[in-house]
Structures are given as structure tokens and as C-alpha cells.
Amino acid sequence: MMFYISCPSGLVFEIKKRDGLARIGILELPHGKVETPALMPVINPKIELIPPRDMEGMGAQMFITNSYIIMGSAELRERAVEEGIHRVLGTYRPVMTDSGAFQGHIYGKVRTDNMEVLGFQRDLGVDIATILDMFSEPYFTEKEARHSVEETYRRGKEACKNLPDIYLAGPVQGGVYEELRTESAMLMSSLPFAIHPIGGVVPLMENYRYGDLVKVIISSKKGLDPSRPVHLFGAGHPMLFPLAALLGCDLFDSSSYAKYAYDNRLMFPWGTEKLENMEYLPCTCPVCSKYTAKELRKMPEKKRHRLIALHNLYVSFAELRRIKEAIRKGNLWEMVEQRARTRPELLDALRTILKYGDYLERFEPRTRRSTFLYSGWESLERPGIKRAARDAERIATETPRKVLPEAERPYSRTYADLLKEKKSFAVNSPFGLVPMELDSTYPFGQSIFPEIPDKEVVENIEERERGALQDIPEEDIDRDIEQVRAIAKFQFGDEGATLLLKGEISVIKSKKTGKIRNVFVDGEHVLSLRAEDGFYTLKIAGGRRLLEAKYPRYRIVVSDGDEFIREGKNVFAKFVEDVDENLRPMDECIVVNKKDELLAVGQVILNREEALYFSKGVAVKVREGAKKA
């Protein structure tokens, strides 16, 4: 009996929350929905250490098993074809199957071919089947790695042509050659795959080459369709999850929970510990809460292995929940930096990430829901923070300013007496020169640094201090108007600030705090100031002014849905026609139709490349529709 499932055309994957490249998404599969980032425990149908139904209670939403192992066992093969993979494994959650490419590479040539193993996976009724890709080792020459890329692509075309109605996984290969990885990713993205595993990385992880792993992931991401989930093949250790999630990996698979258990090793977010070397169990999972290290050592081997495997899974799923909460709050960078301090190899990986700032910046929001927490010089090198510091310094150096030393925030309160002088001021902060007008704007106003600064921070401050202007003449300054202009330049750039504030500016302040809340120009309400991050929200009158910018600046262009959007309904990705490439997630934008008529103002969810690829989910959260007169 065959359990072939006819899948709808096009996988549904929708982003719900995001933090840079990291994303919480919903993946819809024939056997249910999966919330990413997700861990797929590897199930060996020959050895049932922990039943899938027990893992479901711990947080498992999806599983992966090896179709080649099943094919190689006459008994298993017959049963799996007769009953279907879900019944054999004892779960009705989504199941993905691997093709055996890794096993074939390690143990010798597999006795099957691409279409045979794919046809078998289809007959099992799996949710996602994986092509028989060609594994590329890190030590491969460029010629060998290129061969793996070309052969994997050839097999991918063969699979997509002959199996158009099941979900397929198309791995990215290419060894440690970045250009080859990007090329492979582009080739595989050109085919109708459902997800893209990044393959050939297990040797990098086994040898703690995390810096090289970062290069492989980023070079692959550069060429991949951003609307498809990315699976980091063989990434089963929780200490890698935050790093990989930060780089946009959505799925992980783990046989480590079992392999480590058989070797009496316990997994933790900071690494692995041998049971024989432990006296205390630094964990509060049900296993570690019930037993001591001594009690585990004295147990019969089979029971001990099962309990350690349970511990490893509890730790893994707990780390994924922490990652999701960090994505929701917008502080995944902090989590990665904290984890990087636990191992030198992870610190190497973090510093390698920072070398790809130009690429990562395209996905980094200008503001976040959380406070910026400094944990080392790397914190100031984050792509979004470097951009903010650069923009602030540009504004600070446009006009002569008296430079003040770093002080307690908000600067305007600390230097309240000095601000009575009719001069422009900037603060020589750890970020760089920050105009006084931006002291309540993210990240400058929402940041925490140690009282004892790092050597690198002190040196940078001292260098700026030597070239600072300490005395400038007084001039007639309206601090409210200066603040309005500075924030507009910081958020919208010089062109946007000029268009938004062209005319007579007036402000309305909060009666409670005395801070600016609303900005009017020539009597029109163009902007409102958010108290939580010091950024503006755009009003319809402001949106009309931004229409004067050169097309498509500040715009999300839609092909349909004018009336719904005018009524304040959100913009869905499937209707997006074009996007200003300068817009970043959480930016304020204007929504227009193909006639360049204003439909709404709102907040960007997806950047240009994402909005043009995704066919599901919200691209713009509309705040206010532009109803027809």
C-alpha cells in the first residue's frame, strides 16, 4: 500500500516575528503546521531510544529519519511501504526523510540512485523528501566541490521534473568556497524546492570550525530564495542554535541527543560534559531535578542512556524557546554575544559574522523593542548599530558643536544647565559623536554600558576628544525644532527630512513629560514621536509629502487591493510589486499603487528582496489608510 500524498503547489511559509535574518515562521505541511525555528529529532527506526510521542510532549513538532536505512532493511522496507512512515515511527506529526547521501559519502557508494530513493520516500507518505545530493567535504579542492554543486543541481532538476507534486528538499553544496556556495544556492533556488538544507557542514561542526561554518551559512543565504525555510543539516547541538538562527536558519536536526547519550555525555547551551567528570548537574530539567550525577552513573546502561538522551532533548528544546523569545523581544544579538563568551570557537564565529556587515545590514531594523546591552566591543560592531552610529555622526558634524564627555543618560537631563547656552551640542559617547537631539532615540537613549569601559571604547573616545570643538559661538537656537529636524534626518535621511518638514514647524508636547509628541508643518499633522524609542510614526499628511521623493524612494508599490489598503488593511506580500531598496524592517513607509497614488502609511515587515519573493504573510503593517476625499 503506497502512502503517496499530493501536496498543493508551493510551500506555505509565513514570517510571524523577526529579528534581522532570524525569524519565527509558520511552515504548513501535509501533517500539520510547524513553528520555526524548529528542531527535528532524528529517529532511527531500528533503535527506539525515546518514542516520538514522548518527544512531542517536550516540544517536538517534526521529525526526520533516513530513508536509505529503511530501504536497506527488508523487514523495515516492507512494513514502511505497507503502513506508511508515520505509523512506523509512531507519530502523526510532519516527517522529513534524508536520502542517505551522507552515509553514502562516509561508508561508500550507496546502492541506489536519486530517483529510486526519492520514489521510495514518496511512497512512504513523507512530508518532505530529500534528493540524493553529492556531499562536499571541507578538504575538497575547488574542482571537486564544483563537481558536487553541478551534480547536485542535475539531480535536483531530475527530481523536480519527475516529482512535481511532493515537497522536496534541495541541499546547497560547495565545500568551503563561498562563491561556489552562493552559486549552488542560486541554482537550487531556481528550482521549485520546498526547503533548502545547507549540506556538507557536519565536519566543520565536529571540528569546531565555527568561523568557517558562518562563512558557509552566509554565502548560502546570499543566493537562496528568502521565502523558503533553511535547514542546517546535522546541527544538533544547542550551543549552535542561537548563532545559526541569527544567520537565518529555520530548521535543525539532531541525532546528537542520542549519540552523546550512548557516550554518557550531557549537552548544555555552553557545550558538552562527560557524566564521569560531573558531581553536580547544573540543570533543572525533569531528569536532572530527579537524579544526581552519582545516581545516573550507577544505573543500568540502557536506563542511563535513555535519561541522558531525555536531558539532551529538554536542553535543546529549552534553548529553542529562549531563541524564539529573543527574536520576539528583538535581543537575539545579545543572546549570541553572551553564548560566544562560553567558547573561543563561538567567539571566532561571532567576529566572523561581523565581517559580513554590509549583507546583514539589509535585514537589520533601525530600532528594536529591547534595550541595547553592551557586552564587548563586538556589540558596537553589529551592522545596525554601526549604521546608527554613522548616521548620528554625520548629523553631529554638519554644523559646529560643542562636544561634551559621555555622561549618564538621558544626556539632556545630565547637561540641563549647559543646554541653557544657545549652542549646539554633541556627546562623545561609546557609539561615537551623538547629537544632543538624539539622546532619546534608539540605540543612544536605550542603552546600557558598564561603568568601567573597555580599552577599545576608551581609545576611540580619546581619539575623538582630541579633534573635538570645545568652544563655539552662541547662536539663536530653537531646541525643539533642532530635535525635530535631527530625528527626521536620522530616520528618513536628508531628502525625507526636507520633504517632511518643508514649511512652518510647530510641535505639541506631552503635558506630563514635557517631551515632543506630535509634529505639525503648515498646520498639518505629519509625524508623531514614539516615547519608547524616540522614532517617528508617519501620518497621512507626512506620507503625501514623501510622495514628492523620487520613485520608488520610501515606497511599497502594490499591484492590487487599493480599497482594502485605503481602509487600513495590512499589505500582503503577494500584492507587492516593488519596494524601495533602502527600506529596512520596522521602517516607516508609504504604500502606493502602480499609478503612484498614496494608499496608506505603515511599518515595513519585509525588506525588498523578501517582499518580492514571499507569497504569504504581511509585508507592511498599515497604520492609517489614505481614504479618498
Q: Annotated catalytic sites, by residue? A: 98
Nearest to 620 by CA among 569, 582, 559: 569
Q: What is the largest CA-CA distance in the chain?
A: 90
What is the distance in angstroms between the CA of the first residue and the CA of the last residue of the chain?
64
Written as nine digits, the cell of 540 is 497621512
Number of H helices, E strands in the chain: 25, 28
Written as nine digits, the cell of 471 is 568652544
Yes or no: say if 95 and 62 are a contact pair by the CB < 8 Å rule.
yes
Q: Which residue has the cell 505603515?
A: 602
Nearest to 370 by CA among 341, 334, 406: 334
Yes or no: say if 359 and 218 are a contact pair by the CB < 8 Å rule.
yes
Compute CA distances 316 → 248, 350, 530, whole Å: 18, 21, 37
d(CA 495, CA 525): 19
d(CA 106, CA 386): 44
Compute CA distances 610 → 52, 348, 542, whole Å: 34, 29, 26
φ, ψ (nearest 5 deg) of residue 538: -90, 135
Written as nine digits, the cell of 417 is 544647565
Dihedral of CA 129/131/132/138: which sign? Answer: negative
Yes or no: say if 452 and 406 are a contact pair by the CB < 8 Å rule.
no
What is the SS3 assignment for 397? Answer: coil
* Residue 262 burial (CB count, 10 A): 14
d(CA 44, CA 65): 6
Nearest to 213 by CA among 222, 224, 202: 202
Written as nine digits, the cell of 526 is 505629519
Dihedral of CA 110/114/120/125: which sign? Answer: positive
* Residue 628 burial (CB count, 10 A): 9
d(CA 386, CA 257): 38
d(CA 237, CA 531): 40
Strand 516-521 versus strand 505-509 pairing type: antiparallel
d(CA 347, CA 339): 8
